[in-house]
Structure 1
């Protein structure tokens, strides 16, 4: 009993008239809000006019009172889309006023039918916009007015009052169910969006770890060369001054330390079943082997421009981009004709992989993280990347600077 009384007080007095969140009745998008307002205004004006006419013709109340009752009981529907609880409070006050203003002896009830219809719309809005507690309080207050005051004052037939109370209960339950489902779908969409963001972040981290593991071999090679050359220098250069020998020894020791630390860090990035690479990392010199490995595609390889030596990182990234683009073509465009173009420009290496679309239904519908890896590799060297539909197929266009001196932290 205590909880029911508190729910009635909250609904009638305490709860803010505007819902604390966007609801089915007052959605997020502007055009949906305009549509809701248009419907509410049209219904509010129409039902208020109908109520006024019935009060004048059927209940024979004075013109001023008819206008007042009709406006109080139906016109608040105009504001129900934004402030459903405020509209309900005004309408309940108008219903209570009718019980006191209209004399006894009415046929069924002291309210116009359009006013009851407006009340049904507002009760649905309240049930869909507020918590179950407020919906219960709203129903109890409305039933108290319809049954308690109406029957006790003889203004309403008891059996008809019970019908109206049943309509109130069903309307609130339906509105609360619809509003709860709408809120659950919004929460599900929000969680799904968070999941997609988490998966995207995890994919980026995974690809960066993979790139770091691959580039470790490149860095380790250079550091090993530095250490070996520094150690061999005293034997290659006769009569080397002691300060120079000390410098070479320091250079050798620092190179070895750097190599050890690099291996330790990359070891943390490797999973338990991910062993270290035992073969040299590939480059564009193996692109013909890569092309011949994809039997399900018709591949046209074109290399233009003047080939030039590439840094190990750029060479490896270019190979991986072509590899991933061909893998995606084989996965999502089986039987397609693919053109692979490698152009040695003046300052950049340009890679283009284009297919003409699948010739049969792809076996794979889900997406991997290949595009993420391409973006990370291109961003590492300050290049550009385009991936997207082109013609009937898909295109991957990458451009990598030769120097590879870009600092990726500047883009973060």
Structure 2
């Protein structure tokens, strides 16, 4: 529980005890003076007890302790002839308002006022009614200060608890963002390394196979293609660095360069009012195009490729179609490319459709269509 500085609490309590010892009379080692000394000592113990942390004292024990403290304070007021014995009652009643809920604090404060006022009346006798009434009322009033202090304390605790909860939520959100960023980097690394290395590996395998046939023209062609893929890999690495830095890439310009580097020219068509989509949208569309073009080269080598970008008012659509292979495919893929496409589309709330082409001039080929809102 949040509390005021314990050192201040102890200083105030010890100050009240010191003032009481210095002013309360009579004090001695016998008779009336001894009774006053004992009552001052007992009241001091009850008053110092308010510095014990709340969680160290059970609620029922606290009620009993403060009830007995009220009785001891009333006895001191009735026994002492002069001095500041009433201060013990004031501070104890104020602490009752702070320590206990109002339903318990108010009755105890009323009891303290009645006891202290009644004891003073019995000591002074008839004809001095105003002073006991005034003392009893003034002793009961500090409970209001204690209740207000308790309310402010609980409000402060609620604010601190809310701040701690918000901090925990922020840490959890940061962890989630870090994990999401790791996934994004993993996808980008896959896009660059897996695609590029797979293409280069296919060309090198082709070179190795052609060397046995002695067809030097095709060997040079495959070798040139491998060099082209290496250059393309460097471009892809640059794109990945841009993406990781959240740099904006021009969609159509980057897409045109990507298509031409894959060996297809004049394959891009654009529909709708051309605009530059948000950086995140452009990034995802380029990665999906890269995956689709790589798959076309792997599974349908020699086939025609057509790419279409459609700008609508509320979305951007990328469609890629490739015809059937004219050469033997190099082999199957890992399947991670399609998974990466779906992950990217899911991140931006878009839709992805993939599947074989069953009619038209590209029958037997493959198509990919990605729609991203915005």
TM-score scaled to structure 2, two decimals? Answer: 0.48
Structure that is richer in helix per residue: 2
Q: Could you say which structure has the greater relative contact order, defined with CA pairs below 8 angstroms and 6 or more residues apart?
A: 1
Structure with bigger gyration radius: 2
